[in-house]
Structure 1
Amino acid sequence: MNTAAVQAMLDALAAIGADPPGITRHAFDDRENAAHDLAIGHARRLGLEITRDAAANLYLTWPGADRAAPRTLLGSHFDTVRHGGNFDGAAGVVAALAAVSTLRAEGFVPRADVTIAAFRCEEAVWFGLGLIGSRAALGILPPEALDRRRADTGLTLAQHIARCGGDPKAITPGARLLPPGPIRCFLEAHIEQAPSLLEAGAPIGICTGIPGNIRHAAIRITGADAHVGLPRRFRHDAALAGADIFTALDAMWAEEDAAGRAMAVTIGRFHTDTAKHEITVVAGDFTFSIDLRAYDAAHLAELERRFHDILATTAARRGVTIDLGPRNAAPLGPCDPALQAALAAAAARAGIATLPLGSPASHDAANFAAQGIPTGLLLVRNANGSHNPHEAMDTADLMAAAATFAEFLRETA
């Protein structure tokens, strides 16, 4: 795939997901299926083997000379958040296809299989749990996840998997769904989610690590509804309790920043019940979400402890109760030092400038790293972050990632 072919595939993916003002490719649904079909069309033209697993993940394999040798696995995902951008996830699958296309055109024959994976449902917005496809592939999907319901359809994850041709009954803890045989390494390309590469003038970054996270999707604060004239000392104001928590978490983040300890905290949902609460009612209940992330397990655990302290202090001060609801976690993803060096060397041979860079976001790659599989991640320059309609990756930068993968595979596959 040359630049024109890559651009045509990106344009086709945008058409599949078109949902003004942005792009929506729903997980385990027609648009994600259509993106998989688009990849399958390219794979057939490249003569790749096409398989799916019980979670409806897609695998496109370029057979190597020694089919028993440890394979190189590359990939990412096609689903998006609602009204997101076109490149988050999809760019990684396209880069892998472009790298294999380049090498096949040269007549290169890999020593071992090279497999491109398109994992299902990386985004947590669909079922309240992220990285679902890669978790299932690695045999680490929590069993209760299959009963989670997609908010917009009301169907369970198991039902959605079955509708996409998968077999939810075969998804069990400890049972890997990946193509059989050993894996030499896992590689992913993903757009950058902060403008560090734009600032540095480098097209790609060599990721040094992926943060782990703790998430609660619906934390509920319960106080007491009351008249707006009620004096402050009598109030059990759930909304003000939420504001206190938000302020305390931001102060904690500022303190961590000042000490040079990388972390992030995000409250994505923050609301009263608009069907119930009015301008003349003190809010007796309030709901918010939290995503707390850091690059070190001990640091993340300490941040979670401090978060619980903030909740307890606020509950006592405001006279409210706080229900955390379900807790979800994603593992830390340490990027393999040898792979970091090899990817940097491959980029250098191709004349591509790179920057060592931590990823601020979770990725499918983190699951592989947490399972002890050597993992590497390329970050592609992108001006406006991700999870919004304004993702701004240049195709030329994606081609730099593809060229780096091709050079790496030329030396090692």
Structure 2
Amino acid sequence: MKDLDTDTLGGLAQQIFDGVRALSRDTAGVSRPAFSSVETETLAWLADFARQNGLHVTEDAGRNLLFSLPQDANATRWTLIGSHVDSVPMGGNYDGLAGVAAGLIVLIRAARSGRRFRKPVKCIAMRGEESAWFGACYLGSKMLTGQLPADELAATHKGDDRPLSAHLQDLGIDTAPLAAHLPICDLSRIDEYLELHIEQGPLLVERDIPAAVVSGIRGNFRHRKIRCIGQAGHSGAVPRAYRHDPVLAFAELMHRLDSTWSHLQQTGDDLVLTSGIVGTDPASHAIARIPDELMFSLDIRSQDAEVLNQMRRYLRAQMDDISRSRGVRFDTGSEVAVAPALMDATIIAGLQDAMQQATGDTFTMASGGGHDAAIFAQAGIPAGMVFVRNRNGSHNPDEAMEIDDFLVGTAVLSTYLEEAP
């Protein structure tokens, strides 16, 4: 039994990335809109590539593609491995696509080397994960698992204002099961779901580690528009004791939240928080004016549901305290929340062992971004993930995954999936 060398596997991977990039170039980076003709052309290219390399290809009810070894085409149960092919507008080429490419490389490696999987393996190339086009994320995996809310089926496209249901019907997808919240695949046939993805933060780069096992996907609660309401005044005429300054109230709140974040991190709890939108009203703000209102967003994430609940209570208590001391008022607006999704403990242990075998070391971390793996986990399917080192973040044209790191990630998956040599 002869394994393929890394040059051969790397060449196949590069062929995938270059071929798909050529189909979806934009003014900057790539654009593969969810449920678009570009996404369809990408899937067609991947189908041709898979067939040329001896794989069986079929399409499911959501117009996603499934790849397998020919002998596993009619398997009754399987491990599902893959990711999505759509991208954000003018995004990077690896977010999502790397997971599909990994599944294809795992299958081709097994086919050409004569290795056998412990159980049948199928790779899925999914549509519609990014929220940029319809304002909701994980649409493809929610459709597969029967978790698509009615408001998301009715969500309109940012370009043409037509609902998602109309775009699906254009592709020949039956929307009746979706409206009834029914899975459009037989979930009982999927033993587990695995996904390779580029890391979207700097941890692996900073620690000089090529890949990692993912322990869980952080849930979050978000307030898109919190208003801190104070009282306008002249910057030179109002003494400190008589000010109702929303800017200083916001600053104090963020300082308290940051201090609590530091404390929780030091005690071993998982937490990240961000205020990505901050500002006073540009129509009325001025250098010599105490603003009457400041608006900000808040995004708080953790793998631990209890930590999220603790932060909810803490946020409200601190807002109430600052309101009393500074004479302001906080209006949080509505909350949008997503539950954390822990990866399956048995799969985590298996991937850690596979990483140890493949690389001589192991590293495990949380995912700050959301992924299709969370949707499968929430549907009751054991799920696991592998991250690959990637510079410059994601959702931008400067994603910089190295093929050598990608091959480390695929080696971890192959070692986990294949029978011991």
TM-score of Structure 1 vs Structure 2, range by shorter chain: 0.7 to 0.9
In the alignment, structure 1 residue 325 sits paired with structure 2 residue 334: yes
Give the 5 Å matches for 1:2-401: 2-45=9-52, 46-54=54-62, 56-62=63-69, 64-65=71-72, 67=74, 69-107=76-114, 113-172=120-179, 174-179=181-186, 181-216=188-223, 218-221=224-227, 223=229, 231=238, 242-272=250-280, 274=282, 276-279=283-286, 286-314=294-322, 317-320=326-329, 322-325=331-334, 327-329=336-338, 331-351=339-359, 353-401=361-409
Distance apart, 1:227 and its partner CA: 6.8
SS in 2 for 1:404: helix
Q: Deviations over 1:77-98 (max 9, x none)?
A: 2233344322122111111111
In structure 1, give the amino acid aligned to 2:58.
I
Q: Deviations over 1:139-159 (max 9, x none)?
A: 122222223334454333333
Aligned length: 408
SS in 2 for 1:18: coil
Q: Distance in 2 between matches of 1:236 and 1:260?
A: 37
Q: Deviations over 1:277-335 (max 9, x none)?
A: 45377655654333211121211221122223344445564544514235231x32222
Q: Distance in 1 between matches of 2:165 and 2:317?
A: 37
Instruction: Report the CA distance shift for 1:278/1:358 in structure 2 as closer, same or farther (over 3 A).
Output: closer
Q: Distance in 2 between matches of 1:313 and 1:148?
A: 39
Task: State which structure, 1 or 2, has the greater radius of gyration over its C-alpha atoms.
Answer: 2
Q: Distance in 1 between matches of 2:148 and 2:18?
A: 33
CA contact (8 A) 2:230 2:328 kept: no
Distance apart, 1:28 and its partner CA: 3.0
CA contact (8 A) 1:139 1:172 kept: no
Q: After alignment, is 180-189 or 170-179 more displaced?
A: 170-179
In structure 2, give the amino acid aligned to 1:219.
K
Q: Distance in 1 between matches of 2:33 and 2:327?
A: 40
SS in 1 for 2:34: coil
In structure 2, give the amino acid aligned to 1:264.
V
Q: Distance in 1 between matches of 2:82 and 2:131?
A: 18
In structure 1, give the amino acid aligned to 2:337.
N
Q: Where does residue 5 of structure 2 map in the other structure?
A: none
Q: Distance in 2 between matches of 1:77 and 1:62?
A: 20
Q: Distance in 2 between matches of 1:292 and 1:125?
A: 20
Q: Distance in 2 between matches of 1:86 and 1:292?
A: 28
CA contact (8 A) 1:43 1:50 kept: no
Unaligned stretches of 5+ in structure 2?
1-7
Length-normalised TM-score, structure 1: 0.84
Q: After alignment, is 279-288 or 91-100 more displaced?
A: 279-288
CA contact (8 A) 1:65 1:110 kept: no
Percent identical among aligned pairs is: 31
Distance apart, 1:207 and its partner CA: 1.9
Distance apart, 1:170 and its partner CA: 2.5
Instruction: Report the CA distance shift for 1:96/1:272 in structure 2 as closer, same or farther (over 3 A).
Output: farther
Instruction: Report the CA distance shift for 1:34/1:302 in structure 2 as closer, same or farther (over 3 A).
Output: farther
Instruction: Report the CA distance shift for 1:285/1:133 in structure 2 as closer, same or farther (over 3 A).
Output: farther
Q: Deviations over 1:102-142 (max 9, x none)?
A: 12223456575422223333334444433222222211222
Instruction: Report the CA distance shift for 1:215/1:384 in structure 2 as closer, same or farther (over 3 A).
Output: same
SS in 2 for 1:411: coil
Q: Distance in 1 between matches of 2:368 and 2:77?
A: 30
Q: Distance in 2 between matches of 1:208 and 1:390?
A: 26
Distance apart, 1:357 and its partner CA: 2.6
CA contact (8 A) 2:270 2:303 kept: yes
